[in-house]
């Protein structure tokens, strides 16, 4: 399917800032077992996108697969003149398109539409805890860089780069859970972000805490309550994070990875259940339009 044209800039539709365009793969780097960081030259989307937003991608000039797939921003990159030239994203190989993407070389043409969705809120000034499960850690590079004031995102920029580092203890902590050491991505892209720290949990104990990342979340919430928790990962993990945050009375935001066919509100393939005031007390919402980031207390996950 060639996606229908999306709203052009200047309209008041939810995705008024989105464009449909083409891009070119610049490079890709292996981050962990079956996990890659891909760089795409596409200034139109890179200039507009903010942390937690996503874009849809499909192969250029091909209908296999027919539908695009959603991927979240990892970070934008700049050219030698300092202009935003494109973006990076991380992906885990799970099926048809990601299986193809693994073999793409520099120069591969791609079809893209975005930026889509709402993104994470601008981070609060106090400490921020980010909880990432598997490939769900990737949105937090841009979140952490924006929070530290070392990068700005969006057009117009949604924050001004801060001249001063965040106050001590006001930085971003990433709690990163993976199955085992070989599945743990290289986190060197986070090096040097002021106030940033990371803690790792592996299911098999091959690195960091032996157990679930939610154990680390409980420790952190007990030791130094953050201003907010942002989370992205498998749904059972996000449901557990939401429960724990409710227990501790901490605001929590979840980025859902619902399967999507269009990404801009036309197909209703991405609905999730949200709490409403009207009987029966819940209704469906499109994750691509009203999400992918939701307040955890607005969602009915796994019920």
Ligand X SMILES: Cc1cc2nc3c(=O)[nH]c(=O)nc-3n(C[C@H](O)[C@H](O)[C@H](O)COP(=O)(O)OP(=O)(O)OC[C@H]3O[C@@H](n4cnc5c(N)ncnc54)[C@H](O)[C@@H]3O)c2cc1C
Q: Which of 21, 100, 159, 269 binds ligand FES (CB under 6 A)?
A: 269
Q: Rule CB under 6 A: is residue 116 a binding residue for ligand FES?
A: no
Q: Rule CB under 6 A: is residue 32 a binding residue for ligand FES?
A: no
CB 45 within 8 A of CB 23: yes
Which bin fits 110, alpha (ψ -120 to 50), beta or left (φ > 0)?
A: beta
CA pair distance 283, 272, nearest whole angstrom: 8
Quote the tokens at residue 258: 């619902």
Q: How far is CA 166 from CA 50, 59, 127, 229, in A?
A: 20, 41, 9, 17
269 binds, among ligand X, ligand FES, none (CB under 5 to 8 A by kind): ligand FES
Q: Rule CB under 6 A: is residue 260 a binding residue for ligand FES?
A: yes
What minimum distance in Å lies between the beta carbon of 102 and ligand FES?
A: 24
Residue with Cβ nearer ligand FES (24 or 266): 266
Q: Rule CB under 6 A: is residue 265 a binding residue for ligand FES?
A: yes
- The piece of 23-31, 33-41, 122-130, 258-266 that touches ligand FES (CB under 6 A) is 258-266
What minimum distance in Å lies between the beta carbon of 72 and ligand X?
A: 4
**Is 23 strand, coil or helix?**
strand
What minimum distance in Å lies between the beta carbon of 94 and ligand X?
A: 5
CB 208 within 8 A of CB 201: yes
- 2: DSSP letter: P
Q: Which of 48, 145, 183, 286 binds ligand FES (CB under 6 A)?
A: 286
- 116: DSSP letter: E
Question: Which parts of this chain interact with ligand FES (CB under 6 A)?
Answer: 260-263, 265-270, 286, 288
């Amino acid at each position: 399917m060639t996606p229908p044209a999306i709203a052009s800039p200047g309209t008041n539709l939810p995705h008024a800032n989105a464009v449909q365009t083409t891009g070119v793969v610049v490079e890709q780097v292996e981050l962990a077992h079956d996990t890659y960081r891909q760089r795409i030259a596409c200034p139109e989307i890179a200039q507009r996108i903010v942390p937690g937003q996503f874009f849809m991608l499909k192969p250029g000039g091909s209908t296999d697969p027919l539908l695009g797939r959603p991927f979240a921003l990892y970070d934008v990159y700049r050219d030698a003149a300092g202009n935003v030239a494109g973006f990076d994203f991380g992906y885990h190989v799970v099926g048809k398109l990601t299986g193809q993407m693994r073999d793409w070389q520099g120069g591969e043409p791609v079809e893209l539409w975005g930026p889509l969705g709402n993104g994470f809120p601008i981070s609060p000034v106090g400490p921020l805890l980010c909880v990432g499960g598997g490939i769900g850690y990737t949105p937090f590079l841009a979140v952490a860089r924006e929070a530290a004031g070392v990068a700005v995102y969006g057009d117009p920029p949604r924050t001004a780069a801060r001249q001063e580092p965040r106050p001590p203890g006001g930085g971003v902590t990433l709690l990163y859970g993976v199955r085992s050491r070989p599945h743990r991505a290289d986190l060197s892209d986070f090096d040097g972000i002021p106030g940033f720290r990371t803690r790792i949990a592996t299911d098999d104990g091959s690195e960091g805490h032996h157990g679930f990342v939610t154990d680390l979340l409980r420790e952190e919430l007990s030791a130094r309550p953050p201003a907010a928790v942002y989370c992205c990962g498998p749904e059972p993990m996000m449901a557990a994070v939401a429960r724990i945050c409710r227990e501790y009375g901490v605001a929590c935001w979840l980025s859902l990875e619902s399967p999507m066919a269009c990404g801009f509100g036309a197909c209703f393939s991405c609905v999730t259940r949200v709490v409403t005031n009207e009987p029966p007390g819940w209704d469906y919402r499109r994750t691509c339009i009203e999400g992918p980031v939701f307040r955890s207390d607005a969602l009915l996950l796994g019920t």
